[in-house]
Homo-oligomer: A and B are copies of this chain.
Amino acid sequence: MKKVRIGLIGTGYIGRCHAIAYAQAATVFALKGEIVREMVAEVSPAVAKAQAAALGFARWTGDWRELAADPAIDVVDICAPNFLHKEMALEAIRHGKHVYSEKPLALSVADAEEMTRAAAQAGVKTLVGFNYMKNPTSQLAKEIIASGEIGEVVHFYGTHNEDYLASPQAPLDWHCQKALAGLGALGDLGAHIVNMAHYLAGEIREVSGDMQTVIGQRPDAKNPAVLREVENEDQASALLRFANGAHGVIETSRIACGSKMGLTYVVTGTKGAIRYSQERMAELALYQHEDAAGRQGFKTILTGPAHPDYAAFCISAGHGIGFNDQKTVEIRDLINGIAAGDPMWPDFAEGLQVSKVLEAIAVSALERRWIEVQGTSRF
């Protein structure tokens, strides 16, 4: 079986989740390629060494450029902070590596375009870690919509709200700095719900956005007595018009008290509707208007082996899969895409398209007018 040798850059929050998924993927799925946990890059050789040991990788380096250039690496998996995505991806592409990058793809549309173009020209494969669309429950949502069970989609409401910066005392970190994060809540969280909107309801063609930095200053991380400027938005909302004629709204916030994993959507069609909250990631609520009078209602479907990719984890319904299991599905797509040419989505083109929507929302908010979104994500 063809080996797919992974070079992982970054082993913080999401890099660790990638590593867990790599560890279990071959046991969960009958993969078309062999995962080789080849090398870890971290901020120093010492950290890299320790993390390679902890996460089951064979080699390590304190210099990610070394990893990108290493001939024994097939895929560069970028889990570094957002501001490094572009440089790392371009370097990996230059060395002919496939690239698996965390979202958001880049800090700007221009950067995302450059990366997408470079990958296309180099003929390498790409995947962006949007993650949530890999949950069997959201795959079920897609299946229900695609099959026409709720008719034509007429409305999409989606959120990705969290509260990790809800406290004004939470210190200023890289999320709040334009040079490191680009957009605020939009880039960090909004990227997920835009991707989900694409997946479930199709291309977004126009947006009217609004955004706001609610907590304008935060304590310096090292010296809390010093207040520093927050440079990007805490919350944002946008009216949407989809290519297929549907209307919609998305919202995102990093100060939404009480939302711990507030990716939610309500998709309304001409014949029914679905409702989902990632905090109850094993449940999809389905309403069908043609049900008998007196027997209408939202049905809570617990994801199970009748739904996409669930049975690989457990053959009984309602037993539940977790956050990292979504990543495992994504990594299955990565491995089968690279080893066997299976479709690999969402790719850089989709990452770029998400960036276009996010940037359009930000520009719309600044210029206070509707903005058209160009391009296509080809889901």
Contact = CB atoms under 8 A, between A and B. Distances in A.
Interface stretch (A218-226, A266-274, A340-348): A266-274
A271 B297 contact: no
A301 B306 contact: no
Interface string A257-281: 1111100000011111101001111
Interface stretch (A65-73, A90-98, A162-170, A194-202): A162-170
Interface residues of A, number: 94
A24 B24 CA distance: 5
Contacts of A168: 270
Contacts of A318: 260-261, 278-279
A57 B120 CA distance: 39
Contacts of A296: 258, 301, 317
Nearest to A258: B287
Contacts of A162: 316
Nearest to A253: B155
A22 B298 CA distance: 34
Nearest to A262: B318
A259 B317 CA distance: 9
Contacts of A325: 322, 324
A51 to B, nearest CB: 11
Contact of A237 (B26, B247, B315): B247
A23 B164 CA distance: 31
Chain B CB count within 10 A is highest, among A164, A208, A306, for: A208
Given A273-B258, A319-B323, A369-B369, A235 B154 contact: yes
A307 B293 CA distance: 9
Interface stretch (A13-21, A76-84, A103-111): A13-21
Interface of A: 13, 17, 19-20, 22-24, 26-28, 30, 54-56, 140, 150, 154-155, 157, 162-164, 166-168, 208-210, 212, 214-215, 235, 237-239, 241, 247-249, 251, 253, 255-261, 268-273, 275, 278-283, 286-287, 289, 291, 293-302, 304, 306-307, 313-325, 368-370
